Structure 1
Amino acid sequence: MAAPLLLSDLYMYPVKSLGGIRVTEAAVEARGLRHDRRWLIVNERNQFMTQRQTAAMAHLKVASAYNGFLLSHQARPDLLPLFVPFEATPEKTLFATIWDDMVFAWRARPECDEWLSEALGQPSKLVYMSDMVRRDVEPEHNPEGQLVSFADGYPFLLIGQESLGELNTRLAEPVGMDRFRPNLVFSGGQPFGEDAWHDFRVGEVPFRAVRGCGRCILTTIDQQTARKNPHGEPLRTLASYRSQGSKNKVLFGQNVTGPGQGTLRVGDVISVDSFKS
């Protein structure tokens, strides 16, 4: 008898493109997991910043704190940890650009901008997405009108442990799941079995796997050292057998939409109700 599919890990990322917090339980909200990617770092032109262009962001670590989180710089012990609340106040605002979207955002405290500018060596600002903002999942895959936070395009990312394990059998140096920044990680099943999922439930909470997640250069950055792999791994190996479509997107993991409410717990049983046609 095959082992059941189980939710083995839950991650939420308070700040887009910074480290995640591993949790055992999480609330599902309209834009994804509660507190996930509601904060964003922007440059002096109010354009979003990620590790794609600023690999040094991998040095910034995120840890849980009461009603918020702590930012620290693993290579700069002289920079004292910075406390950031989970939610901001609308005292100062700006319009931030993320991909093709311009989003109304609330500013963090001035000391947050000062800390980040020092940590990253360039002018940086921290901004927050309030519940008043509507940012939609890409329209062609969004008949239900799903919302998304400052995540790239979807409120959830799902990856199977077996998929990472299979990839690591092909690599000279195995990589961790943190290269791929999932929210939902599950055990059981076959490698890349999640590619075929459509409707599924985690416990009693329904989700829909919409499409594969196209991967980028961020996967080549070691999240402990902030150094890019000189051989382009693991993206190079993934491209050798996980490229699909006319644009040869390198797919790993599934972009997922959810119900906007519910609670997830590590250990929840996952049931697949339908598969992609």
Structure 2
Amino acid sequence: MATISELVLYPIKSCAGLSVPEAMLCIDGLAAHGMYDREWMVVTQDGLFLTQREHPRMAVIAPRIDGDTLLVEAPGMTPLRLPLAHDAGAASRAVQIWDDHVLAADCGEAAALWFSGAIGTPCRLVRFRPDVVRPTSTKWTNGIPAATRFSDGYPILLIGQSSLDDLNTRLLRAGRAPLPMNRFRPNLVVTGIDAFEEDFVGAFAGDGVALHPVKPCARCPIPSIDQATGIPGPDPLDILQAYRANARMDGAVTVGMNVIVVDGIGHTVRVGQQLDAELAF
């Protein structure tokens, strides 16, 4: 039996997360407080997505809900307010995230100037349009359709707390500092399963909900970035490489599983909720 111990939305891709006590399951991820996970994204002037991989300062750009707005704060910056209501008159902008090209809503000049100053490079802020669908690849889903917004590829990332505990034990043995879970930027953290058992779960199910882990998450250098300061530090990939190189992913280091919602769209999941962890074999 797995227990949900944390739910996190990242309203703006690659910026700080927002922990919530409950969230609604949608085909394209989690939603709470009138917003969706990865609903906004920072792009270059040409529309190419930006992340902490190139701009670690994005980690300290922190959104939070304030009434009917998303209040965005960053060190040394006057807070920016983004309306939660969609602007039907917003200009469309073609954007690229990995190999996908979609039309997004441009958030205007004030937001562009603010994010350019916060990150230190010319950029623009865009929002996922409600009339757009970005389907996920069915290569890993056994043909089951799903969708996502501005996440890298799938709507939900799940990690077991025991998996991080296992890594931290190894880091301590190597004389390294343990890492907090936010280095791995999951949406859903569960307790009650063994380290990396999420790799072998076919479904987390219960109360009308079925979440299917479909693809291991290949890790990039972002876990080396302190999410509180935006400053890169020692990369745990050297430790992980010794035991987390995944043959299914051509030898890439994997931590966590990408998950799709198979049953329970529109249902609410809560911190403390228990789900059966049904093994895939």
Bucket of the pairwise TM-score, normalised by the shorter protein? over 0.9
Report matched runs for 1:122-271 at 5 Å: 122-142=121-141, 143-171=143-171, 172-201=176-205, 203-229=207-233, 231=234, 233-245=235-247, 247-258=250-261, 259=263, 260-271=265-276
CA contact (8 A) 1:160 1:191 kept: yes
Q: What secondary structure, in the 3-state scheme, does the structure 2 residue paired with 1:118 have?
A: helix
Structure 1 position 87, deviation (Å)? 4.5
**Higher share in strand:** 2
1:141 partner letter: W
Q: % of aligned pairs identical?
A: 35
Deviations along 1:202-257, one digit per CA (max 9) or x if unpaired, are: 5431110102111001111111121212x4x2122111110012621111001100
Task: Answer whether contact 1:51 1:57 (CA < 8 A) is retained.
Answer: yes
User: Do 2:2 and 2:277's aligned partners in 1 also have CA atoms closer than 8 Å?
Assistant: no
Matched letter for residue 236 of structure 2: P
> Higher mean Cα deviation, 148-157 or 58-67?
58-67
CA distance in 2, matches of 1:86, 1:30: 20
Amino acid at match of 1:214: A
Provide the rounded CA distance (Å) in 2 between the counterparts of 1:80 and 1:53: 24
* Equivalent residue in structure 2 for 1:32, among 12, 29, 37: 29
Which residue matches 2:55?
54
SS in 2 for 1:152: coil
Q: TM-score, normalised by structure 2?
A: 0.91
The whole-number CA distance in structure 2 between the counterparts of 1:17 and 1:202 is 31
Q: Which amino acid aligns with 2:45?
A: E
Q: Distance in 1 between matches of 2:163 and 2:84?
A: 32
How many residue pairs get matched? Answer: 268
Q: Which residue, 73, 80, 83 being the options, matches 1:82? A: 80
Which segments of structure 1 move beyond 4 Å, counting only runs of 4 or more? none
Conserved in 1, the CA contact under 8 Å of 2:138 and 2:144? no
Letter paired with 2:178: P
For 1:87 and 1:38, locate their aligned partners in 2 and report how far apart those are by CA, in whole Å. Answer: 12
CA 1:252 to 1:6, structure 2 compared with 1: closer, same or farther past 3 Å? same
* Counterpart residue number, 2:107: 108
Kindly provide the CA deviation profile for residues 2-60 of structure 1, in whole angstroms up to 9, marking residues without a partner as x.
xx421111001101100110000111112100110011100111100000111111121
